[in-house]
Structure 1
Amino acid sequence: MPLPRMRGGRVAAALLLGLLLAACQTVPPPQEAEHPPQQYLDVPFIAQDAYQCGPAALGMMLQWNRLPGDKEALVDEVWLPERKGALGIELKAAGRARGLLAYPVQSPDALFAEVQAGHPVLVLQNLALPQWPMWHYAVVIGYRDGGERIVLHSGTKQATTSHWNRFLRTWARAEYWGFVLLPAGELPASVRPEPLLRALAPMQKDTLAHWQAAVARFPDSGRLRFGLANALWAAERHDAARDAYERTVTLAPELAPAWNNLAYARRDAGDRDGARQAVCRAHALAPDSGNVADSVEEITGGEGC
């Protein structure tokens, strides 16, 4: 099963941790796990059938969100018979298709932050060796003893516990791949602007409340504000969208697509001079963009900038 590649600092940190684990040395849980020393989330349990841990784990995450999570129906949606498994990208896509935010959780600190915030985390583990992997999806639903024991719904076992270092080894072999699924308006405890933008960008359904929450949390992010403006425009809230585009180009004046869309918003409001200024600014920032060139032609009536 292909996995996302690690980049930059994640590679170095993972290699260092991997060396420690390979040497049979223990790695303590993050200090925040001591406050509180235990946490347990009420997450519905679905036992997996053979090789179908992906649909079962996804079903638990959906049911926790109070959505239908029938395992048999999910098998048809995300399980690949030729691989005898499910790809992580398909699990995330299934969540997004239901209007949920699929946000990555890729470190021990983030894992504990989410569980402490009341968010279960779907994780990928390699239960065997790197050379002969045995991929497995489980749902982290809590911890105890200051993080020394992790509580999971895993396979056919409900609320089973694993020693922290054993769990960490299996998670590390899967490059710390995991994610939360959250409803509109709720953000992860470990949220950061750029990963949030990447998590929101592929969403097609019920996005407005997600973008509103993102901008409320990071009001100075021009790129998130641009996403909100687009969602407002799609919802036909054109006045609010125009205001959001105006704010976007103030926060991120280098963002050519925002100037391009602002041109249409201004034209829609009857401001033809302002529309021309905006599209010409977009063209100056992205002179090789065919999309912007088409906008210049349309907005200026063929006169150009």
Structure 2
Amino acid sequence: MLWRSGAILISLLVLAGCASTSSLRDGMPEEPPAVEEIAGVPFHPDETLYCGPASLATVLGWSGVDTTPEELIPSLHVPERSGSLQSELVAQARHQGRLAYVLRPRTEAVLAELEAGHPVVVLQNLGLAIAPRWHYAVLVGLDPETDEFILRSGPHERHRTAVNTFLRTWNRGERWALVVVEPGRVPASADPGRYMEAAHALEATGQQEAAEQAWQAGISRWPLSPQMAVALANLHFSRGELEEAETHLKQALDRGAASGAVYNNLAWILAEQGQWSSALDMAERAVAKGGPHRNQFQQTLDTLREQAGDRAAND
């Protein structure tokens, strides 16, 4: 069914590139922002190999999920690796109904999250490139007076480390950083492409209510994004909520967030409800928009014209 091809359009539009960085302090302003230490971040001391579960439990607890490292260990710890994979931390956060957003590998992205009051899980290599010692910790603040980051790290509730020292260990960890937020909140440093990937992944885990909240928050942040509107409408369509899906796409048009995909998918929704004249009008507008998926839009128009003709003949 061509509505499903509309969902494919989304996946073609959400991929976002990652730019690496060469300077150790790239993204650190000359005058560091006065980032206060984030209040209310739980602390789970860890002196074992379970820094991954401890760090994830920390940010999950901050986001409102009541859990402990012990509860997370079975799903996160990989014995043969003596630790946890980044992908498993992300997957478990989504399983808990939270939006897991991997930051761009730049210092300013981390600073933006800290300024917004979002603790950040970071992966450090406390060893050397040839002899790595991987470690997860949670950034909870920056002291500009001493030029130190503050972390929940291992057995230390307020581990202070010089900015340059932290950035050096974070660089060796390939600058991986993760923010975990309730789905109605958008990470401060989020860009539309990465955010859509995170929201789609949340939906794919079966967390439909959380995904709906994430899409609505995304639309509030980027009201002119047609992709966000199509994604939210697609979720409603998958649940058989045709009127809701129609409403969201029409609201996108009213906001000026029009695209061929919006018109194309709205055409199918209207056709499903027997509104053939309006459906054909939307399909024609999708074709007029053109773009790389014009052939799919034309196929929608041709199919709906044929179906509308068959209905008229049978009436």
Fold similarity call, TM over 0.5: yes
Cα distance change of structure 1 residues 148 and 240 upon mapping to structure 2, 3 Å threshold: same
Report deviation, 1:182: 0.7
**Residue in 2 aligned with 1:225?**
229
Alignment partner, residue 50 of structure 2: 52
Conserved 8 A contact 1:27-1:165:
no
In structure 1, distance between residues paired with 2:232 and 2:121: 27
Deviation at 1:202, TM superposition (A): 0.9
1:273 paired to 2:277: yes
CA distance in 2, matches of 1:160, 1:212: 37
Letter in 2 for 1:218: W
Matching of residue 81 in structure 1 with residue 79 in structure 2: yes
Q: 1:236 to 1:107 in 2, by over 3 A?
A: same
Question: What one-letter code is carried by the residue in structure 1 that aligns with 2:227?
Answer: R
| 1:1-305 correspondence runs (5 A) | 10-11=19-20, 14-15=21-22, 17=23, 21=24, 29-31=28-30, 33-36=32-35, 38-105=36-103, 106-146=105-145, 148-204=147-203, 205=207, 206-234=210-238, 237-246=241-250, 248=252, 251-255=257-261, 258-276=262-280, 278=282, 286=293, 300-301=306-307
Q: Contact 1:42–1:141 at 8 Å: present in 2 too?
A: no
Q: 1:10 is matched by which residue type in structure 2?
A: A
Deviations 1:169-199 (Å, cap 9, x if unpaired)? Answer: 0111122111111112211121222221122
Partner AA of 1:47 in structure 2: P
Distance of 2:33 and 2:40 partners within structure 1: 20
Q: Is the 8 A contact 1:123 1:137 kept in 2?
A: yes
Distance 1:174 1:252, change over 3 A: farther
Percent sequence identity over aligned pairs = 31
Letter in 2 for 1:271: Q
Contact residue 102 and residue 181 of structure 1 kept, 8 A: yes
Alignment size in residue pairs: 284
1:76 counterpart letter in structure 2: P
**SS class of match (2:124):** strand
Distance 1:294 1:82 in 2: 51
Using the alignment, how far apart are the partners of 1:69 and 1:112 within structure 2?
Answer: 26
Is the Cα–Cα contact under 8 Å of residues 27 and 107 in structure 2 kept in the other structure?
Answer: no
CA contact (8 A) 2:119 2:139 kept: yes
Aligned-residue offset at 1:242: 0.7
For residues 96-116 of structure 1, the C-alpha deviation after alignment (integer angstroms, 9 at most, x for no partner) is: 122211122232112122112
* Residues in 2 aligned to 1:288 and 1:260: alpha-carbon distance in whole angstroms: 11
Q: Which residue number in structure 1 is paired with residue 9 of structure 2?
A: none
Q: Gaps spanning 5+ residues in structure 1: where?
A: 1-6
3-state SS of the aligned residue for 2:64? coil
State the 1:60 CA deviation.
0.8
Can you list the C-alpha shifts for 1:9-36, whole angstroms capped at 9, x where unaligned?
723xx22x1xxx5xxxx77943563335
Return the offset for 1:167.
Answer: 0.3
What CA distance in whole angstroms lies between the structure 2 residues aligned with 1:33 and 1:234?
47
TM-score, with length taken from structure 2: 0.78
Task: Provide the aligned C-alpha RMSD in A.
Answer: 3.2
Aligned-partner Cα distance in 2 for 1:200–1:166: 33
Partners of 1:263 and 1:279 within 8 A in 2: yes
Aligned partner of residue 229 in structure 2, secondary structure = helix
Name the SS of the counterpart of 2:80 in structure 1: coil
